[in-house]
Amino acid sequence: MKKLILALITAVGLMAGAQASEGGLAWDKAPSKTNDLAALQNGAKLFVNYCLNCHSAAFMRFNRLKDIGLTDKQIKDNLLFSTDKIGETMKAAIDPKQAKDWFGGNPPDLTVIARSRSGSGGSGADYLYTYLRTYYRDETKATGWNNLAFPNVAMPHVLWELQGERKPVYAEQQESGHKVSIFKGWQQVTPGSMTPLQYDQAMGDLVGYLQWMAEPAQNTRVRVGVWVLIFLLGLTFLAWRLNAAYWKDVK
């Protein structure tokens, strides 16, 4: 029974975290970086180095990264594992059997994670941006980590060397005659290789890449949509004036 519960938690992955955070921790607004090629390239590097070890992106091919300004050589030299080919999809390096033993099930695919995790707290990007920045050390958990946006998360903090170790700071206050703990901020326990500002910027790049990966044509769609609306507006104006010119003598 315990294995079944753990498998269900892992299968739903970050979706459960989104639901858990609704009505709880407020989501931070993710920066918009889907038009920033340098940020997307850095986000792709972070994704391959830290996420692709366990999470696949089964609907994204490495050669599609040319859309964010990378060349075939840059992709091969910096983002491909030795056995991968540039035309292949982004497959996780982890053995599915090992993943099942460690987590109770395979970690979820992340291709469209940024589109599927929206909720009342904000967009999927807002949730991911909050989730990646709210890990803290918790020795009571099997992985040694917990997360404010996704309580009791099964995934360890794979980016902890960049962020360092932090712990949440709470303040007690009275509500309806009861003492409740209110989250106030973070206390840095040990420093990471990045400053807090640098880490937040890096997570913004990673989330921007996840947004782009979920719909690589989204910027083109928006751009074409604007021109279509302008064309339809001009056509509507022309039809209105032609209609007025046609009926003026009849009236």
The domain limits of the chain are 2-164+195-216, 223-251
Distance CA 94, CA 217 (A): 29
Checking if the pLDDT of 148 tops 70, the result is: yes
Checking if the pLDDT of 21 tops 70, the result is: no
> When comparing pLDDT for 102 and 36, which is higher?
36
- Token look-up 């982004």 returns 90
The reported pLDDT for the residue numbered 95 is: 82
Domain boundaries 2-164+195-216, CATH class: mainly alpha
Residues 154-160: what's their mean pLDDT? Answer: 93
Which one, of 86, 89, 56, lies nearest residue 74 by Cα? 86
Residues 146-172: what's their mean pLDDT? Answer: 92
Phi, psi of 47 (to 5 degrees): -65, -45
Checking if the pLDDT of 147 tops 80, the result is: yes
Distance CA 37, CA 58 (A): 22
Residues 176-188: what's their mean pLDDT? Answer: 85
Total count of residues recorded for the chain: 251
Checking if the pLDDT of 175 tops 80, the result is: no
42 falls in which pLDDT band (50, 70, 90)? very high
The reported pLDDT for the residue numbered 251 is: 60
Query: In this predicted model, what pLDDT tens digit does every residue of 89-120 receive, in sequence order?
Result: 998 878 877 877 777 778 889 999 999 888 88
Rounded to two decimals, the pTM is 0.80
Residues 23-34: what's their mean pLDDT? Answer: 86
The reported pLDDT for the residue numbered 212 is: 96
Give the torsion sign (CA, 126, 132, 135, 141): positive
Largest CA distance in the chain: 86
The reported pLDDT for the residue numbered 36 is: 95
- Token look-up 């917990």 returns 146
The reported pLDDT for the residue numbered 121 is: 84
- Token look-up 């751009």 returns 223
Distance CA 90, CA 82 (A): 13
